[in-house]
Structure 1
Amino acid sequence: MSKVYSLKTVQNIPVSMESAWDFFSNPANLAAITPEHMKFKVISQHHGERMYPGQIIEYKVSPLPGFRVYWMTEITHVEENKFFVDEQRFGPYTLWHHQHHFKAIEGGVEMTDIVHYKIPFWFLGDIANSVFVKQQLEQIFQFRFAAVEKLFGKWGG
Structure 2
Amino acid sequence: MSYAFWFNAPLKCLSCGAEIAGNLTGLHTRGLNPEPRDEWVVPDQELALDPDDFDTTYVRVRSPTDGTDFRVIHGWCCPTCNEAQWARLVFRRESANRFRFVTAESVPLAPEELRAAHFISDDVKYWIEEGPPEETKGLSEALGTAE
Higher relative contact order (CA 8 A, sep 6+): 1
Asked if Structure 1 and Structure 2 have the same fold, meaning a TM-score greater than 0.5 normalized by the shorter chain, the answer is: no
TM-score, structure 1 normalization: 0.27
Of structures 1 and 2, the larger Rg is shown by 1
TM-score, structure 2 normalization: 0.29
- Structure with higher helix content: 1
